[in-house]
Amino acid sequence: MLQFIPSLPTYAEDKTAQRVWQWVKERFNNEEGTCYYKHPIVGAATGIVPDLTLLVRTNQPLAIRCLPYQLEEIETVDQDIWKVKNTEMESPLLELEDFVVGLQGRFDKERMLRRRLKPQAVLALPLISQHDFEERFNTALDNAYVIWANGDTDVLLFPFERELSNEEWQLTRSVIQTATPLSKSPSHMPMTVNSLGSAIRVLDQQIALLDVEQEKVAIQIPPGPQCIRGLAGTGKTVLLAMKAANIHRHFPDKRILFTFNTQSLYNQAKTLISKFYRVHSDVDPDWERLHIRHGWGGRNQAGVYSDLCARQNVPYLDFREARSIRPNNPFQACCERALGLPILPEYDFILMDEAQDFPREFFRILFKLAFPPHQIYWAYDELQSLSSLEIPKPEDLFGSDQNGNPLVSLEGDNYPGGIEKDFVLHRSYRCPQSVLMLAHAIGLGLYSPNGSIQMLGDKESWESIGYEVENGTLQKGKEVIISRPSSNSPNRISNIYIGQELITAKIFEDRDVELDWIADSIRKDVKDENVAPEQIVVISLDAIKAKGYLERLQKRLVDRGIASTIPGLIHGAASFAEAGRVTLCTVFRAKGNEAYIVYILGFDALYDYIEEIGNRNKAFTSITRSKAWVRITGTGKNMEKAKGEIDQILSDSPQFKFIFPDIDKIRRLDAETSRRREEARKAKKTFTEIMHLDPKALTAALDPSDFEMLLRHITEAQSEN
């Protein structure tokens, strides 16, 4: 079936393009392919881009220029110049030549497509008949392919002599999508290999191809706000980078902001935007007009907040100062202070990644920074908390005006041209099916010894993230079976390499033995399996003890000749996936990043009494960083429980089989967890004060029975570990 994707909302008013598209659709409707409006951006010398670009599997690519003129509006027609409405313009036939040269250059960059594709260009004059045109100007457009008012589309037929192979067709589509920077040039490596490094290279060299949902997000430029939602691994960061590059090419004079929360995303975002932009151009983006900014920023890195403070001529709050104001959300304190001063518009387009990690005050800053019509596009991980698919409504994020009307609303019909306001991405490409299902099951606690601690409460919620309710009903106490179709997890690493299990869980007697095993395993990955160090990430699930664990691991890696970096703790926050170095990090630093091999150490923290829900969310985030292999390690009885849980999940995959929980109880558990956490903070403070008492004061403070109770609690706690 032929798809249609308009990149700009002007299509809704472009009656000429609409008419020509209907003719094209009638001719090719049963063909596999896509017709684009104002994409790709292969401009003529005049700056004009093709109105329609047609890509179908049976036909050579076509660029179509649609002219909306009546015969009487065209005064003269010469080889180089046409005069229309008293204005001279370059001949559209010369523009067609530019389109062909531009497209041919794109395809010829790919060796596989050279001499296979010969793009053609067509002029559409749907308001003029051929007879009337030739009679008026006493000439025929013999050297051009033209669609006239009779709608005859025979001129569009340029069939291939030999049908494109699947690989050729995928690469052709990737070139038009401008997705080729996501993969290396295809090679003819065997489909199965005998080492991890070879498997990674095969996966890297597979042709990058966007599905229709992803194409629309990357290509379409809405005339107002847009929310883009999806699971981890649906490609939100990449699609936003493509969108930024496309906007910059369409509107080179407009000011664009690309912002995010995780500092280590800076290099990735800049690299992606540069690569996508250079598909269209031989130069880098204009970084004076396209700003890549961390949400906060600081003395050594530009940020949305720090830039704003400079314009407001006020000192910005650093982390220490902000935390003293709002211990649980320091950046919120920064945004609240900034909103207390005037904020003038700065940007025509704003793209916001990791929106779920920002306070609502930051959304309100961005609204003020955007010129009307507030073209703000924010990407939201809708399952970040694992507790619900209910993300905040735009009116809650951006606020209301003086009359109580929401400043931003996504209600009502789509934007002109059918561009959606609230876009949901269903397919997760990063994680293999079993890895993603493990992450969801662990995060929700579906197989936890104590039962689920979080839950998606209805069938629609499960389906929106790519699952199917196979059997049972989502009611308290009922057995339910939920499955995930392989089509919604297209990662095929397990088909390429079967030499190692994708998921490994190991129990160790103590932390030193665990760290030794991880270091030895990484040495084997790099030295024996030919894995590049930057393809490996080690994440500590226990955030409090992470620095100590990671430093000890780093020393072990040095002893084995492996370089590493610890972003945000020892090295710069942006030093993620540095060439030649393994990344050792906390869950917070890992967010937004990915790697082929992910180690998660200290997984026994999953059963932390105080951080029960928080650590399951962290486990979910950690597992979903993996593009292939996940190696989970821990110590003691808690790791034994964790491994049992993991084994049950894997035995049921690709299904979940569980008793549907009491949703009200889960809500109470969330509140109970918050209460326990606060009590633990108070208890720790009290215990610290007691420990500083001298023995005589301690004897005076506690009865003998208190001593016995304290010792009993300590003994019980030790036995748990």
**Phi, then psi, of 205 in degrees rounded to 5:** -90, -5
| Contact yes or no for 294/573 (Cβ under 8 A) | no
Of 574, 267, 575, nearest in space to 554 by CA: 575
Nearest to 39 by CA among 144, 238, 177: 177
pLDDT at 469 > cutoff 90: yes
**Residue 106 counted as domain residue:** yes
Residue 389 confidence class, pLDDT cut points 50, 70, 90:
very low
Question: From CA 434, how far away is CA 292, in angstroms rounded?
Answer: 35
The residue written with tokens 């596009």 in the block is 377
Does residue 185 lie in a domain region? no
The pLDDT value given to residue 693? 55
Structural domain includes residue 666: no
Judged by average pLDDT, the poorest of 295-309, 351-365, 639-653 is 295-309
Residue 458 shares a structural domain with residue 511:
yes
Q: Do 409 and 450 fall into the same domain?
A: no
Q: Can you give the pLDDT at residue 388?
A: 46
Domain boundary among 358, 391, 425: 425
Both 630 and 687 in one domain: the answer is: no
- Beta-strand relationship, 564-565 and 52-56: unpaired
Lowest mean pLDDT among 441-455, 508-522, 661-675: 661-675
State the pLDDT confidence band at 193, using cuts at 50, 70 and 90: confident
pLDDT at 694: 62
From 634, 661, 688, the end of a domain falls on: 661
Same domain, 489 and 413: no
Q: What is the pLDDT of residue 562?
A: 97
Which carries the bigger pLDDT value, residue 598 or residue 461? 598
Q: How many domains does the chain have?
A: 4
Dump pLDDT digits (tens) for 531-558.
999 999 999 999 899 999 999 999 999 9
CB 112 within 8 A of CB 167: yes
299, part of any domain: yes
Pair 62, 158: CB distance under 8 Å: yes
The predicted-structure confidence for 42-56, as pLDDT tens digits, reads as follows 877 788 899 999 999
φ/ψ of residue 35, rounded to 5 = -115, 130
Mean pLDDT of 301-314: 94
Provide, rounded to the nearest whole percent, the portion of the chain with pLDDT above 70. Answer: 88
For the ranges 18-27, 30-39, 231-240, 358-367, which has the lowest average pLDDT? Answer: 231-240
Cβ-count burial 260-292 (b if 16+ within 10 Å, e if not):
bbbbbbbebbbebbbbbbebbeeeebeeeebbb
* Residue 685 in this model has a pLDDT that exceeds 70: no
pLDDT band for 471, please (50, 70, 90 cuts): very high
Mean pLDDT (the chain, rounded): 89
Distance CA 625, CA 647 (A): 20
| pLDDT for residue 607 is more than 50 | yes
For 358-362, 389-393, 407-411, 597-601, which range has the lowest pLDDT when averaged over its residues?
389-393
Is the per-residue pLDDT at 592 higher than 50?
yes
The domain in which residue 703 lies consists of 678-720
Instruction: Please report the pLDDT score of residue 712 as a whole number.
Output: 65
With respect to residue 32, please indicate whether it lies within any of the assigned structural domains: yes
What integer pLDDT is reported at residue 696 of this predicted model?
56
Strand segments (E) across 534-649 = 536-540, 564-565, 582-586, 595-601, 626-635
| Residue 360: per-residue pLDDT | 96
As a whole number of angstroms, the distance between CA 539 and CA 554 comes to: 12
| Inside any domain, residue 560 | yes
Q: Is residue 221 part of a domain?
A: yes
Please state which of the ranges 459-463, 505-509, 597-601 shows the lowest mean pLDDT.
459-463
Q: Could you tell me if residue 416 is inside a domain? A: yes
pTM for the predicted model, two decimal places: 0.82
pLDDT value, residue 679: 52
In this model, does residue 595 exceed pLDDT 60?
A: yes
Are 604 and 519 in the same domain?
yes
Axis crossing angle, helix 330-339 with helix 304-312, rounded to the nearest 10: 30
Question: For residue 348, what pLDDT band results from cuts at 50, 70 and 90?
Answer: very high
Q: List, edge to edge, every strand of the sheet that includes 626-635.
A: 503-508, 626-635, 595-601, 536-540, 582-586, 564-565
The rounded distance, in Å, linking the Cα atoms of 503 and 476 is 31
Spell out the residues 6+ positions from residue 105 whose beta carbon is closer than 8 angstroms to its own.
none
Q: Which of 260, 255, 253 is nearest to 347 (CA)?
A: 255
Residue 414 sits in the same domain as residue 500: no
